[in-house]
Structure 1
Amino acid sequence: MKENLHIIKKKIQQLEDDIRLNELTVQEIREKIHHGLFSGKKTPSLSSLQQIRNGSIGNAQGFYSDDGTISNRETCEFSGLLKSKHSVDVQMLDVYESLKFDNPDGGVWKQGWNISYEESEEKSLPTLKVFVVPHSHCDPGWLKTYVQYYEEQVRGILSKALSFLDDHADMKFIYAEMSFFHPWFMSLSSVEKEKLEIVTGGWVMADEAASHYFALIDQLIEGHQFLENYLGYKPVSHWSIDPFGQSATMPVLIQLSGFRSMSIHRVHYAIKKHLARNRQLEFYWRPLWRNDQSADIFCHMFPFYSYDIPHTCGPDPRVCCQFDFPRMTGIFAACPWGINPVSITAKNVAERSRLLLDQFRKQSKLFQTRSLLVPLGDDFRFGHSSEWTLHYTNYKALFEYMNSQKDFNVKAQFGTLDDYFASVAEELQQKQNIKFPVLSGDFFTYADRDDDYWSGYFTSRPFHKALDRVLEKYLRGAEILFSAVVALSQMDSTNADHPPPSVMTLFMQLTEARRNLGIFQHHDGITGTSKTFVMVDYAAKLAAAVADCQKVIAISIPQLFSSNPPHDANIQDPELDFAEEVKETPAVQDVIISVGRTPRTVIVYNSLPYERTEVVCIKMETGGVMVTDEVGQKLSVQLSPVVKKENSVFRISSKLYEDITDVISGHRHHVKLEFVAYASEKGDSGAYLFLHGEYGKMIRSQKQVLLVDGPLFATVYSCFQQVMHAFRVIKEEEFFARAFHVTNVVDITSETVDYELAMRLKTDVKSASADRSFYTDINGLMMIRRKHFDKLQMQANVYPMVTAAFLQSDRFRFTVLSAQSSAVASPASGMLDVFLDRRSMNDDSRGLAQSLQDNVPFSSSFRLLLEDMQPSGIPTVSSALNIPRSSLLSRPFPCDYHLVNLRSLEESQTQLPSKRSALILHRLPVDCDSVVRSPVGCSAAPELSLKTDLSFGQIVGVEETTLTLMHSKKNCSSDLRLKPMELRTFKVTWN
């Protein structure tokens, strides 16, 4: 240990020597950061981009009525969604319909065309303003672990940025990932806002396919709260250059957080070409459910293949690579096109400037304005002092020459992302003929070339994806309970200024859990696209975070509900079970309850703000037990065996279920479940790519079936070679019981060929139209219409599914609800393929440099729901809801109000909980086509009254903020009313 500390200290000293920090004290460094790079102009001037639109959208009417209720059937959220009629110029599903998706050779721009221009015309146009934006994209885990990257590369990048920007007034830099910036800053403790811009400012640059919106918001808040508490900084621009496809959720969250603009990169090359042809690479991105411009956000899309330097100055990478100057010294690989950079001298500056300007001009022809964004960077760039010097001195010479030549009609400079967007806003204000299109939809599924679709990562490393959702559940539950503990502790005058040790310890554990969840949202984390040892490191972080959350829950509950809560010294580690949710893995262990003469107490915690009915399963050592509620009333119980695949108690049978009858409506449906395997084409699939060859081939069962029946539920277990499948029917008349529970324990570790395993659901719910439409969720926030296109390969028709997918006819809807992120396709009408696991013997040549053979057995869970598309009454009275219980609410929330989180906030620069909590609410949309009565236990009132509804703590202030708390909006009363699909954050102050 001492030796490790010595090594660390030595590295720190070396870094300090490199950047001459040895002459400064730590406090001086903090002051330099805080008052230097982050002190300049005030909040950037981009407000004009949304405000200057001068009515170009028209006066499209929104779908909300004045009282916040849905105005009529035509404007119901799901009706509007399914009809897909929006006041937009570009609807992505329509674009997919229209494109041929051919891939002709475009010349030097392989995926585009030969761009040309008249030089005489260039001289007559307004000056071309070029913003060369230095950046370094730092992955918090990929080929190395997060800690390895920080220690070996990122700390040096940030330290050298501090030094170089301080010494060079006209140099600039942008940076995104707070998961690295935070420990670097804290290790020093504070470069001009005009010099260094923090873009996005989230904990990571998050994946947008597999992440749930809860986790996306949480990692944004973690980054933004750090920036506010320690730097007083508020990012204004979003930077998403490496996630493998762009979700329609992210622009919603970013706009609600107070951002004014965003930039994206990884979009299908054919889509980029189409938008570039129409000069639509910059657009206002509109939510799917909106018909007005109030929720739009301005978006810039990179036009070319990559975000690296050879693909950002213009269409010809052979030319652009010649301006990646560190390549000429051997710091990085030589240019693969055979022509390497040369230093800029007085003899060659004219020729070199003309060569680079030609690329700038050609790229500018793809955009409507005379402002041009040219990123200058790549993964983990600017880690060498010489790299900073080479780029700065050579580009400065080029800029000075270009800008001095009147015939060039250009002003080139180093800039930040905000500098660029501010220039666009200025042009928009001055020119009335610029009209950016309005776009809706998302950008899945991504392909970077040919038929190489990045749909494999939707499923890769499914155990980790399942563990991610387990952590989200525990973290949310722990956050709510801990906020209640903090609120109550504020009412105790002895704790008001000095929280008890247990509260401080729990807050530190919560903070660590938040950050571990945040790191895993990284686009090489939850995607399952990192090296095996890195994925092991991620899993360890997730499991540790679950344990921390369990302890917070176990300690918080007696603090809230016990008249004599235990002292800190008497608190033991809890025994909470989450093994059942991920199944048969070495990372987790079953917790089995033993009961002797003394009764054992089991606390069931419902973190939803309204009552619900659930079957709760507890593993016992013996079956001879009686279960009572808190007042001694006997509860209905069912004893069932714990079934494992190796059990020999199966009886012979030849088929799974094929017909399901809804006993409430009387309708009988054909639903057949099969397991199919896709083979890879030429063995080219990998962690990222799914390149299918053979169409999904059915896997035969081993003809082993076990029926476990009882008073509460019946379960059918079916055994296959790679899957133990369980199908459970709940014997209740509650609405929740209409969903069939499906669990698949998957083990494909014995496969020796490329293998994609999917659960196929064949139904009689055929698409109402001939276009084979189906629907998937986007990050759990909204649903989107998809189509299966025969003109595209199977892998192009696979989409991410975070929580749900459904098929729909004129009369019925068949929904799959998923407990973990995965992939889904609809290869035929009435059919859904839900992908479970995948195994690849090869690397897919996207940088990971390893195969995908580290599968572990795991459990995936689903619920299948059949619904009528006509209004139907559902019985709502249940004896289970008459059980008395302790509650943090004086009355349930309305059924369509979802409590996203109640998150305790940090006291500025203390790492201690404050008197404030962030209350995040989401009002769910209403589906006009499938109407059921609200379950008992939900409030019918369309509004909340926090002071009366929350039965813990005393509220003294409610302030509405932007989604991630960056900006204050208004003080408000405790009575809150949300419109459908609204997602809002309130800062609650406790007495």
Structure 2
Amino acid sequence: VECSYFKILLVGKALNSCHATKPGMLNVHLVPHTHDDVGWLKTVDQYFYGDRNDIQHAGVQYILDSVVDQLLKNPDRRFIYVETAFFYRWWKQQTDDMQNTVKQLVNEGRLEFVNGGWCMSDEATTHYSAVIDQMTMGLRFLNDTFGHCGRPRVAWHIDPFGHAREHASMFAQMGYDGFFFGRLDYQDRNRRMVAREQEMLWRASESLTPPMADLFTGILPNGYNPPEGFCWDQSCDDPPIRDDPDLEDYNVDDVVTRFLHIAHGQALVYKTNHIIMTMGSDFQYENANLWYKNLDKLIRYVNQMQSNGSEVNVLYSTPSCYLQELHRVNLTWPLKGDDFFPYADSAHDFWTGYFTSRPALKRYERISNSYLQTCKQLEVLGGPISRKGPFGAGDSETLKKAMAVAQHHDAVSGTEKQHVANDYARKLANGWAHCQVLVSNTLSSLSGSSAPRVYCEHLNISVCPLTETSKKFSVNVYNPLARPVSWPVRLPVNGTAYIPHSIPTPPQVVPVSQATAAVRRGRGYAVNELLFQVQAPPLGYSTYSVSLLQNGPPSPPSPLPRAPTAVQNKVWVLWYNASDGNNSESIQMSGAYIFRPNTSTPFIISKTAKIETLQNSVVQEVRQWFSPWVSQVVRLYTDSRALELEWTVGPVPIGDDLGKEVISRLDSSINSSGVFYTDSNGREVLQRRKDYRPTWNLRQSEPIAGNYYPINSRAYIKDDKDQLTVVTDRSQGGGSIQDGSLEIMLHRRLLYDDVRGVGEPLNETSDIYPEGLVVRGRHLLSLSPPAMAADTHRPLAQEFSSLPLSQPYWRRFKFSGLQAVLPPAVHLLTVSQWDQDTVLLRLEHQYQASESKEHSQPVTVNLQKLFSTLDMLGVSEMNLSANQWKDEMTRLDWKAESGTHHTGVTNQLCLLSPLGCVKTADLL
């Protein structure tokens, strides 16, 4: 069945599935919808089934049951659905007859999918690689199930807490015609309402030639809720429309009058004679009859007023139908080039705390993304035996789904209840287990050895039972990048001398630090670490055999020349006292969402630190203890391009009844003039200026929290001579509060809820750390001239987010999946099995325009000579989300207001394949 919805967008005619609007009237587009969090107060499973209604009454399966039933009762009705993770579960449980019925509703445009990702992802704390994966998973299911009729044309992020420019760029490259969201800073909204600039053209990349990353963007009038007084869900208290004049409390006249007043008021702050109203909210439509019965009446009675001179026309609509009408008006739109961070909903309520909230979960999500890419690559390189081999049945799907759910804006963001955070981690761990079987099968096939393999998942705290107890073992180091990697490996051991074979630099044995021994809590007993530099080929692995030479006590640390007993440091660890709401200016507390320090001056944990130093042929290391709950290791590896800072924070003490927000502050002599730079979802970098917003005159009311931004992979300050760059191992919040200084928030432990819905303080504990969570992480620091900085921090950021997989096992081998190393400017973003004979490949030009004199230029890659184990028979180019052929992707054209354009430069990849040169117009 051909869907009229798709046909009209190609030929430019009216949407057959859209209700007719009336020229010369104010057309009010009512959009029935539900917003279904993929976990928040309840787990994703509990939300789907309607379990634990004592926490929150919500059951997604009943919403879909009820909506489909009600759509069938009136062909005028419309509904949109967003979260494919839930719809996928529901769909699997339906009969063939019901599935055919739903397909018909989709074909007729009565049920429309918007956004279509597995979830509605967070925009501040997600990495672009994981966002692309979760969008691809959801959109592929819709494609496979409904064909082009089910392909969303509108991105819909009505709940995330601020909006990233890179997300808009990705949506544009995925073929979306527009983007709608609900939350933006209250000052920004006020200015836009007065100027009637709540709908705009977002130019979402400085590197892509317009309109490649241009995206029409609209701000919804009521967040994602209905207008006040017009909520008719079972969870609402608004009165229904009582339209029998023979009964008491007849209220049609009152309802119509109030609605007309709201519609005219909304029209004053938008630009056209079309306005949109979201009729729904969190987990609504479980009893869809309540909504539709009242909406039917509302439409009928308001439109009847046209006979009395009313110029308001109300209709059932969808975001795509509304967008089509805006496009028809053929206006010019204001142009935006920055992003929508930070977000505040009032003067002292900046939602910048969640940039760091739940730092352990944020790190687990990031390394899980790295492991998923490894798992998908080895699934391709290993072929069918990877999924069913000597170690049993393995799969990548389990981790794909767990990672997709983790991108939700109440998952990796850290804004969920504790039991839900635990569930996200459990799902990731289950995904790891399935991938470990797949990886073992592939490595067994490639090496010819079915010897058992052991995965050491706690090397960051020097725990690995095999290396602690064995006199001989081998280590696989897998490199998922498309260039060789040299990386230090640290393995917990109890001997004092070892021989790793085929290592150019002699290995070293160093004692485990006191901080590491303390944080393990009995999970390991190694007294030493075996430290050596490994080299792994691109898209491949190296194996190193290790033999014990000597047992004995740990070697004492080797002192550095004239090492002091204490050091003063330009790297400070400090903490802000979190507001408890007892403040004359505002009662707002710090919580999972909100960062609000009680003072602008952080507390210094200690100006001096107890130290221990060591130096050998592999590393120079200074171990610092600032307090019983804060320590730091400063490392410089031989031939390294960066200094490594390993920080350990926790249990954060709260015996003084003070919540604490712990930061690392780097002070320098750089004259940064109030300017610093942060990445957007790990991709392009944006300039930030203290106490400043590019699109409105900021009235700053929180000098610390109001200057914090999300840092997903890197941040830097610079002047004409120097650039100080920090690469992070997870998403964190940070800012440049003082010139020449960068501060990054490491950990948060708070005693109050911030009244944004989660209903509990961010006070994490665990069975292992009942007195408070301990978190360990790393930063990489580089200092170089600005012209050379990108060539250092870009590769570092890629390596840091794609860490090699180290795995002890019993055989020696070396393998590379590539015939040729990719150029430095090109990143192998995706290698994934698509179907039996097809592989999904994404190559990424990873340098911004003008970022690097050498590497920001166009690059040519020969695909036919790229892989060592795959036969390249042909290549067909798809859009970024792989749900549409690139040459068939058409998007609506929008005109920007004059004088607001700036020219982008396309960093092209020319892919030489058996089909000739396929030029990709975009970066990804």
TM-score (norm 2): 0.80
Judged with a 3 Å threshold, the aligned counterparts in structure 2 of structure 1 residues 874 and 187 are, in CA distance, closer, same or farther, namely: closer
* Residue 298 to residue 410, structure 1, CA distance change in 2 (3 Å): farther
Is residue 576–residue 591 contact of structure 1 (8 Å, CA) maintained in 2? no
2:693 aligned with 1:693 = no
Q: Which one-letter code corresponds to 2:923 in the other structure?
A: L
- Please tell me the residue identity of whatever aligns with 1:974: S
Corresponding residue for 1:924? 846
Structure 1, gaps ≥5 residues long: 1-34, 50-123, 311-319, 429-433, 490-494, 659-671, 876-882, 908-913, 935-939, 985-991
Q: Deviations over 1:920-962 (max 9, x none)?
A: 111022675776899xxxxx99321112111112121211000
Counterpart check, 1:783 vs 2:685: yes
Q: Distance in 2 between matches of 1:360 and 1:182?
A: 36
The answer to whether the 8 Å contact 1:920/1:983 transfers is no
2:632 maps to 725
Superposed, 1:731-880 pairs within 5 Å as 731-732=638-639, 737-751=640-654, 752-767=657-672, 770=673, 772-789=674-691, 792=700, 793=702, 794-855=704-765, 856-869=773-786
Q: Which moved more, 1:620-629 or 1:970-979?
A: 970-979
Query: Counterparts in 2 of 1:403-422, with a 5 A limit?
Result: 404-405=306-307, 407-422=309-324
* Matches for 1:264-663 after TM superposition, within 5 Å: 264-290=181-207, 292-302=209-219, 304=221, 306-310=223-227, 320-321=228-229, 323-326=230-233, 331-334=234-237, 340=239, 342-345=241-244, 348-402=251-305, 404-405=306-307, 407-428=309-330, 434-486=331-383, 501-502=388-389, 509-559=395-445, 561-562=446-447, 564=448, 566=450, 572=452, 574-581=453-460, 583=461, 590-593=464-467, 599-629=472-502, 635-645=505-515, 655-656=566-567, 658=569
Instruction: Report deviation, 1:738.
Output: 2.4
Contact persistence 2:670–2:718 (CA under 8 A): yes
* Aligned with residue 954 of structure 1, among 866, 871, 884: 871
Q: Secondary structure at the match of 1:239?
A: strand
Aligned equivalent of 1:254: 171
The equivalent of 1:101 in structure 2 is none
2:34 to 133, 136, 140: 136
Deviations 1:824-843 (A, max 9, x none): 11110000111001111111
Deviations 1:149-201 (A, max 9, x none): 00000000011111111122111111100110101001115232321111010
Partner deviation per Cα, 1:619-653 (whole Å, 9 max, x = no partner): 22323210113xxx665211112213276999996
Structure 1 residue 514: Cα displacement = 0.6
Partner residue of 1:113? none
Q: Which amino acid aligns with 2:677?
A: Y
What is the DSSP-based 3-state SS (H/G/I as helix, E as strand, rest coil) of the residue aligned with 1:958? coil
Name the CA distance, whole Å, in 1 between partners of 2:819 and 2:753: 56
Higher mean C-alpha deviation, range 379-388 or range 141-150: 379-388
Task: Name 2:815's counterpart in structure 1.
Answer: 886
Instruction: Give the count of matched residue pairs.
Output: 785
Partner of 2:332: helix, strand, or coil?
A: coil
Deviations 1:239-268 (A, max 9, x none): 100000011011111111111111011100
Q: Alpha carbons of 1:502 and 1:129: their partners in 2 closer, same or farther (altered >3 Å)?
A: farther
- Give the residue type in structure 1 aligned to 2:513: V
In 1, distance between residues paired with 2:316 and 2:68?
Answer: 16
State the alpha-carbon separation in 2 of the partners of residues 932 and 761 from structure 1.
29
Counterpart of 1:212, as a letter, is H
Alignment-mate amino acid for residue 129 of structure 2: F
For each residue in 1:195-233, what CA deviation from the matched residue of structure 2 results, as whole angstroms up to 9, or x when unmatched? Answer: 111101000000000000011001001101111122222
Question: What's the TM-score once normalised by structure 1's chain length?
Answer: 0.74
Q: What does the per-residue CA deviation read over 1:549-577, in whole Å, with 9 as the maximum and x for residues that have no partner?
A: 33322221232x22x354xxxx85x4222
2:484 aligned partner, one-letter code: E
Residue deviations 1:826-883, cap 9 Å, x none? 11000011100111111111111111111521211110000123569999xxxxxxx9
Residue pairs, 1:928-939, within 5 angstroms: none
Distance apart, 1:884 and its partner CA: 10
Q: Distance in 1 between matches of 2:256 and 2:191?
A: 30
* Alpha-carbon offset, residue 385 of structure 1: 4.4
Task: Tell me the distance in 1 between the aligned counterparts of 2:209 and 2:852.
Answer: 26
Looking at structure 2, the residues matched to 175 and 358 of structure 1 have their Cα atoms a distance apart, in angstroms, of 29
Moved more, 438-447 or 617-626: 617-626
- Mapped partners of 1:350, 1:612: distance in 2: 72
Matches of 2:424 and 2:748, distance apart in 1? 19
2:542 is matched with which residue?
A: none
Query: Residue 833 of structure 1 aligns to a residue in which SS?
Result: strand
Deviations 1:733-789 (A, max 9, x none): xxxx1200111111134324211000010011221xx4x100001110111100111
Q: Which moved more, 1:920-929 or 1:834-843?
A: 920-929
Q: CA deviation at 1:394?
A: 3.1
- State yes or no: 1:171 paired with 2:77: yes
The answer on whether the counterparts of 2:169 and 2:215 sit within 8 Å (CA) in structure 1 is no
- Alpha carbons of 1:842 and 1:615: their partners in 2 closer, same or farther (altered >3 Å)? same
Matched residue, 1:708: 614
Partner SS for 1:188: coil
Native 8 Å contact 1:135 1:173 kept in 2? yes
Change (3 A) 1:843 1:870: closer
Q: Which residue identity does 1:688 align to in structure 2? A: Y
CA distance in 1, matches of 2:198, 2:49: 38
The CA distance in 1 between the partners of 2:498 and 2:596, in whole Å, is 53
Single out whichever of 969-978 and 798-807 deviates more from structure 2: 969-978
Match of 1:95 in 2: none
Amino acid at match of 1:451: H
Q: Which amino acid aligns with 1:783?
A: V
Alignment of 1:68-79 (within 5 A): none
Letter in 2 for 1:343: R
Cα distance in structure 2, aligned partners of 1:281 and 1:593: 59
Q: Is the 8 A contact 1:714 1:729 kept in 2?
A: yes
1:349–1:397 CA contact under 8 A, matched in 2 = no
Deviations 1:500-541 (A, max 9, x none): 73499766x311101100101100101111111111111111
TM-superposed CA distance for 1:966, in Å, is 1.2
Offset at 1:710? 1.2
Structure 1 CA distance for aligned equivalents of residues 213 and 858 of structure 2? 30
Distance change in 2, residues 1:862/1:872 (3 Å): closer
Counterpart of 1:450, as a letter, is: A
Question: What is the distance in 2 between the residues matched to 1:199 and 1:369?
Answer: 23
Q: Letter of the 1:257 partner, please give it.
A: M
| Superposition deviation, residue 470 in structure 1 | 0.9
Unpaired runs of 5+ residues, structure 2, are: 14-21, 51-58, 519-555, 582-588, 693-698, 766-772, 793-811, 889-910
